[in-house]
Chains A and B, each alone.
Chain A
């Protein structure tokens, strides 16, 4: 007679088995597409890794190189300027339009349908449309300017304008994405506060500044963090509009990582920058959350 050993599960394990089975597939995908690539990137960052494989373990040399790489710091500065500019314009625009859509104005029904369109359209498609509109010789924007007898603007051709143009494109997408969030936040502000303020003689601006903004501050903190993280993932509009140029004026960090990896074939170094950026973003987010608590 053969005795089959029985697998004995503790009552606690039995209680959680179903839950583990349910999250198993998602966990597997998470490990496969997020955790494993991150671990692999960390391993790559310690190698001198080229197109034909590893040329050997280099320890922290790639990280030391990051610290002394002026082009990397330039890319971080460009990304930060982009993040600040597109977040400020995008969030301010979203808030302003949210105030409008919560009011009973004509055509608001149509507008509510249309404003989210940019968010559900491919980023690259949006950017390609802008590349046509911002074209120096044939673009719609310069056609309007010349119709008004103004000078054409080298939107994406000149270093002095290119980053501003990218910020405009980013802000346009940011308005669309954040508008419904702000509209919902505005709807949740306690109406009694406005009535009390009105009784005290507060005007519209005072109500907005002293009631609305503090009331939606947690939402603003959330949207700012999302905007900053999103800014550090920016690449589609850079690829479609400028390719990181002219003269590196729009060389954001992700584009720099792509250039180091796929153009220059320094995969180890590109991985080190990626992890450096991850730590940088974690610190920024932590600081932001901490300032929110205070």
Chain B
């Protein structure tokens, strides 16, 4: 058995190996002799409380060891989305981080994206805040369960290296509550074969909603549908943005769910289903990925989705093209909804600086590159986009996405739970056949009743 003293020291110092286990390990490795010398030194060190101020090795491209947090033992509670936490880039990151900070033990848990809010709120309410959580930091900053970290940002001094839009995900009322992790946005995929079959013209970056409708109507009567519809609140906010609609007032203090541009966009999209009968029936909340499945199964001609679907679309063998979202009703608007996520420190965390350090590692260039290449999760560091090949983004299908990203904004209505629900209900009602104006007037009234 190979005796790796560095590794043993780390395990003992972080409390992950007891003295009894250490003795057994040393005896197995070299008999009683192994206990003399380094072994004895290690044993002597186990019981002492003197902190280890030395950091371990840091891989190239990651932040240097922060000596403020190398002292005492720290257990960092990290809550990541279920489709991130066990991916190879993250698993390697945990190991490297704990090598650099032998005194820090990462306890990583996970939850599906929709369940993270409840977990974060439960932890906050129970007085045991999560040290690092993964969602949209601005939401938690607004409701008061995230720690402001502006001082740590200032100390770090790297704010200018981030995509400006990505910072919106961590900012509320001028304060920053976390570090953005990745970005994406809604754009368009279309099935070239199905468009050819009905003799429809492919959408382009200048196509408007009415022009697209003319083409999509050519799908009527086919066994496949023109478009895979979704009644997702997030997605439909992007389709409204494409028409210049904004669900929040300029200062983000109130909602305007029934503003003219929002109503017009929702009307156009929802009527594709119940009125023109050329869209699929939107799936319920828990099945928002269904339009993607239908596109991959060649059952729909067009899909508004994000870049995360690209690997599966490629695997499905669909002969596809991609472009930006329609340019609104008259071609004068350009917009989409920005997705992705950010990391934040739970309010009351005793390990605020260590948590921030871990978050800094998550946006280190080598890790961001691996996230892009291995997980199709796109970086928040601006200069990684200088050479798309660096992040494996030289695929022509992604070019429209990168253009679209410049005009995308986060779905900030999510910070107002009652407004978010009112908008979701309004969207669902419109897709179920209620006139969009009527549905969104009702939603606005509900939001107003909640004081928004």
List residues of chain A with CB under 8 Å of any chain B CB: 51-52, 131, 135-138, 152, 154, 156-159, 240-243, 245-248, 259, 262-265, 267
In the complex, what distance in Å separates the CA atom of A246 from the CA atom of B431? 10
Contacting pair A245 B425 (CB below 8 A)? yes
Contacting pair A263 B428 (CB below 8 A)? no
Q: Using A247-B429, A264-B418 as known contacts, say yes or no to A135 and B145 having CB atoms under 8 A apart.
A: no
Contacting pair B417 A51 (CB below 8 A)? no
Q: Using A245-B424, A247-B425 as known contacts, say yes or no to A135 and B283 having CB atoms under 8 A apart.
A: yes
Produce 1/0 per residue, B268-310, CB < 8 A to A.
Answer: 0000000000001111111100100110000100000000000
**Shortest beta-carbon distance, A66 to chain B, in Å?**
15
Contacting pair B421 A259 (CB below 8 A)? yes
A contact residues around B433 at 8 Å (CB)? 158
Produce 1/0 per residue, B385-418, CB < 8 A to A.
Answer: 0000000000000000000000000000000011
Besides A51-B121, A158-B433, 15 more A-B contacts (Cβ < 8 Å) are: A51-B143, A51-B145, A52-B347, A131-B287, A136-B283, A137-B290, A137-B294, A157-B281, A157-B432, A159-B432, A240-B286, A245-B424, A246-B428, A246-B429, A259-B421
A contact residues around B121 at 8 Å (CB)? 51, 262, 265
**Shortest beta-carbon distance, B276 to chain A, in Å?**
17
In the complex, what distance in Å separates the CA atom of A152 from the CA atom of B277? 13
Contacting pair B432 A246 (CB below 8 A)? yes
Contacting pair B285 A264 (CB below 8 A)? no
Contacting pair A137 B283 (CB below 8 A)? yes
B contact residues around A265 at 8 Å (CB)? 121, 143, 417
**Shortest beta-carbon distance, A41 to chain B, in Å?**
14
Produce 1/0 per residue, B413-452, CB < 8 A to A.
Answer: 0000110010011001100111000000000000000100
Contacting pair B290 A138 (CB below 8 A)? yes
Contacting pair A264 B287 (CB below 8 A)? no
Contact residue among B143, B282, B284, B290 (Cβ-Cβ distance under 8 Å from A241): B284
Is B59's CB within 8 Å of the partner chain A?
no
In the complex, what distance in Å separates the CA atom of A247 from the CA atom of B231? 12
Contacting pair B285 A131 (CB below 8 A)? no
Q: Using A243-B286, A265-B143 as known contacts, say yes or no to A248 and B125 having CB atoms under 8 A apart.
A: no
In the complex, what distance in Å separates the CA atom of A247 from the CA atom of B446? 12
Contacting pair A247 B428 (CB below 8 A)? yes
In the complex, what distance in Å separates the CA atom of A135 from the CA atom of B290? 10
Q: Can you list 10 residue pairs at the A/B interface with Cβ under 8 Å?
A: A51-B144, A135-B283, A136-B280, A136-B283, A156-B284, A243-B284, A245-B424, A245-B425, A262-B121, A263-B421
In the complex, what distance in Å separates the CA atom of A247 from the CA atom of B429? 6
In the complex, what distance in Å separates the CA atom of A131 from the CA atom of B282? 14
**Shortest beta-carbon distance, A199 to chain B, in Å?**
57
Is B118's CB within 8 Å of the partner chain A?
yes
B contact residues around A138 at 8 Å (CB)? 290, 293-294
* Beta-carbon contacts under 8 Å, B341-365 to A: 347
Is B163's CB within 8 Å of the partner chain A?
no
Produce 1/0 per residue, B112-140, CB < 8 A to A.
Answer: 00000110010011000000000000000
Contacting pair B283 A245 (CB below 8 A)? no
In the complex, what distance in Å separates the CA atom of A137 from the CA atom of B300? 11
A contact residues around B280 at 8 Å (CB)? 136-137
B contact residues around A52 at 8 Å (CB)? 124, 144-145, 347
Contacting pair B283 A51 (CB below 8 A)? no
Contacting pair B124 A154 (CB below 8 A)? no
B contact residues around A157 at 8 Å (CB)? 281-284, 432
In the complex, what distance in Å separates the CA atom of A152 from the CA atom of B281? 10
Contacting pair A51 B421 (CB below 8 A)? no
A contact residues around B418 at 8 Å (CB)? 264
Q: Which residue of B lies closest to A158 (CB)?
A: B432
**Shortest beta-carbon distance, A237 to chain B, in Å?**
12
Q: Using A157-B282, A245-B428, A265-B121 as known contacts, say yes or no to A135 and B143 having CB atoms under 8 A apart.
A: no
